[in-house]
Amino acid sequence: MRLVRDRVDILCDMLYYDRVMDVYFDNAATTMVREEAIDAMVDAMRTEFGNPSSTHYMGRRAAAALEKARSHLAGALAAKPDEIYFTSGGTESDNWAVLGSAQMLSRRGRHMITSSIEHDAVTKAFKKLENAGWEVTYIDPDSKGRVPIDAFAAALREDTVFASIIYVNNETGAINPIGEYSQVLKRRRLGTLLHTDAVQGFCKVPTSAKALGAQLITVSAHKIHGPKGVGALYIENGIKLPPMQLGGSQEMGKRAGTEALPAIAGFGEATRLAGHEMDESKLKAEELHLHTVRLLSEELPQAVIISEGGSPYILSVSLPGYKSEVLMSFLEAEGICVSKGAACKKGARSHVLEAMRLKDNVIDGALRISFSRYNTLKEAEYLVEKLKEASINIKKPR
């Protein structure tokens, strides 16, 4: 087996040198770390290496760097710095929001609401609560992949204590009206706590805490050209979310453990720059998205565009009758990286596309193309050219 794998690796290396260009269109999985964020991380490791909890001058300098990054995130969310809590990433933040809320609210009720198109970090946390006796209502999306407001309102009950709906879907780019769910909750006066996973929306589409109206908001660094392994949870002041990680008094007593300052510094700098560049980056993503869709409609009229009216950074498209894995392999050989859905699914069938009730052949031939500010129109043209070649050269499975 090792010999076979070595031969495959050698073949892939040989193909690498024959490619026309390398194109990375899997930015919804992770993004390239930008140079400014790398510089901030290196500086934190070289000069601000003290423990932020230490009281000597090196500790105070490290603490100042930590709070600088926290203020950048607070600014991007139009929140207060003491509402931002650093975590190891979006998964931890989602887990903390769901499981911590259950612990905090269990005496008030035992019913929760979420959708059938959430990231696994949310879905699996809810499944754990169901196994512990909680009742969870899963709302299906409409044909465009959005969770209808009337369905959200209809799912509410007197004992509904918590709701979590993703802001920008990580597979289709569909944008859910979180602010309108919040208004429904205010009108009903149920006291239901609202959380949203905003990982794919943060610094890409408007994500102010006030506009969203959610008391808990998950964000992550590596989707905005920051480092992996760091995220944050916005916790509105007054929400006494219990800690899930015990030990020291870091993160205002809510998340124990010495803060990963280099990663946090990179996150802060990536956030600062992404906030300043958001309008420009969004316009570029819209141009790439529209250009790619137009080329697909011209060169591959059989293609089904699944994304409609959502985030310009994510384009979900299908070639019915083909297999996603085969298309991806063909594209990879040409230097193009795309995915069939969430990276954490590791090839499993998309529960999001199934929840949208798409035809099996559409789901099986689906690809997720995700853009960043560093992508170009030339790369989009190369992608469509190679996808057209794939449709001609690959034999459709029966």
pLDDT on residue 129: 98
* CATH number of the domain residue 333 falls in: 3.90.1150.10
Q: What is the pLDDT of residue 8?
A: 46
Range of the structural domain that residue 179 is part of? 35-273
Asked whether the beta carbons of 339 and 29 are under 8 A apart, the reply is yes
Read off the pLDDT of residues 79-112 as tens digits, 9 standing for 90 and up.
Answer: 999 999 999 999 999 999 999 999 999 999 999 9
What is the secondary structure of 126-187 as a DSSP string?
HHHHHHTT-EEEEEPP-TTS---HHHHHHH--TTEEEEE--SB-TTT-PBP-HHHHHHHHHH
- Which of 273, 299, 327 is the C-terminal boundary of a domain? 273
User: Is 94 domain-assigned?
Assistant: yes
State the pLDDT at residue 343. Answer: 52
Number of domains forming the structure of the chain: 2
Give the end of a domain, one of 232, 255, 273: 273
Provide the CATH number for the domain around residue 132.
3.40.640.10
Same domain, 238 and 105: yes
Residues 229 and 366 reside in one and the same domain? no
Give the model's pLDDT for residue 3: 44
Q: Domain check: are 186 and 245 in the same one?
A: yes
* Residue at 230 is within a domain: yes
Do both 198 and 133 map to the same domain? yes
Secondary structure of 64-83 in the HEC alphabet?
HHHHHHHHHHHHHHCCCHHH
User: For position 14, what pLDDT does the model report?
Assistant: 47
Is 364 found in the same domain as 288?
Answer: yes
User: Based on the domain organization, do 76 and 175 belong to the same domain?
Assistant: yes
The answer to whether residue 362 is domain-embedded is yes
What residues are labeled active site? 344
Residue 7 lies in a domain: no
- Confirm whether 156 is domain-assigned: yes
**pLDDT at 133 (0 to 100):** 96
Model confidence, pTM:
0.92
Q: Is 8 a domain residue?
A: no
Do 24 and 170 reside in the same domain of the chain? no
Q: Using the 3D structure, point to which of 273, 308, 340 is the last residue of a domain.
A: 273
Which residues of the chain are under the pLDDT cut of 50? Answer: 1-5, 7-8, 10-11, 14-15, 17
E strand segments, the chain: 23-24, 84-87, 111-115, 135-139, 160-164, 193-197, 216-220, 231-235, 304-305, 314-318, 336-337, 366-370
Distance CA 120, CA 117 (A): 9
User: Same structural domain for residues 262 and 294?
Assistant: no
Looking at the structure, tell me whether residues 269 and 317 fall in a common domain: no
DSSP tag of 343: G
Same domain, residue pair 354 and 251: no
Q: Which of 236, 165, 177, 235 is nearest to 206 (CA)?
A: 177
Are 229 and 323 members of one domain?
no
Is the domain of 27 the same as that of 97? no
